[in-house]
Structure 1
Amino acid sequence: MDSEPIDPNIHKNSGFTRVFKAFSYSLQGLASSMKHEAAFRQEVFLAVVLIPASFLLQVPLMQQLILVASVLLVLIVELLNSAVEAVVDDISLRNRPLAKRAKDMGSAAVLLSLLNCFICWASVIALNWDRYFS
């Protein structure tokens, strides 16, 4: 496979321009994920419910940070999984063992992040059970 020539001026932005462009690209990535990725939309819905719920729970700050971070981690991993899938599909839509492995690993990472989120929430609720349900 031949690689395309690299333009040496492609990354010449610096300072505030670079930060602004990076932020703009990040927003484009989020918008694209919302438009094209059903799983990401579902996980954003989960975040919209769980993150405010974490503020309603009267738990220590560290536990609240764990709750929020576990939800954000799901979104981060889903974005990375979607990026891997997009690159694999852009290269070829043929069935290839390594492409399948890459996609399956990305899916497994999302599953583990969801499991982590569940464990974090269940643990914080269990630690504070008496405060709410006794």
Structure 2
Amino acid sequence: MKRLIDAFYNSVRAFRRLAASEAAFQQELMLLVLAIPLGWFVATSWSGYALLIGAVLMLIMVEVLNTGIEATCDAISREFNIDIQLAKDCGSLAVLISIVLAGGIWLFAIFERIYGIPV
């Protein structure tokens, strides 16, 4: 049980630090704040609502992992290294894929809401 409590405190510490200093994380939190009420009006079912909010949460999760990769790389070396560049670029690509996926899910849901046709 102590490990679970310690892990919770570590997670809260990471959340606070990211919310205070990482612009991308702050933007994605604002997106989540907007998505929670907007998703209610866009979704045509509870499962659709869960999918919309889950897509934004997945984006935030990938951003957190990308930030962890970047922090690890910066702790190893601040000098240019082709392998570190690849690690950072891969993290960035993962975020981009998440943005495209989340955006696609939202577009399909909006299309379904407007035209009433399940996609």
TM-score by length of 2: 0.92
Matched residues in 1 for 2:9 and 2:102: separation? 29
Higher helix share: 2
RMSD between aligned residues: 1.2
Q: Tell me, what secondary structure is at the counterpart of 1:20?
A: helix
Which runs of 5 or more residues in structure 1 are unaligned?
1-14
Are 1:80 and 2:65 matched, yes or no?
A: yes
Which runs of 5 or more residues in structure 2 are unaligned?
none
User: Any residues of structure 2 matched to 1:46-125 within 5 Å, and which?
Assistant: 46-57=31-42, 59-125=44-110
Higher relative contact order (CA 8 A, sep 6+): 2
What is the letter of the counterpart of residue 77 of structure 2?
S
- 8 Å contact 1:51–1:71 — kept in the other structure? no
Are 1:130 and 2:76 matched, yes or no?
A: no
What is the letter of the counterpart of residue 63 of structure 1?
G
**Identity in percent:** 32
What is the letter of the counterpart of residue 69 of structure 2?
V
TM-score by length of 1: 0.82
User: Any residues of structure 2 matched to 1:6-85 within 5 Å, and which?
Assistant: 15=1, 17-57=2-42, 59-85=44-70
Runs of 4+ with >6 A deviation = none
Larger Rg: 1
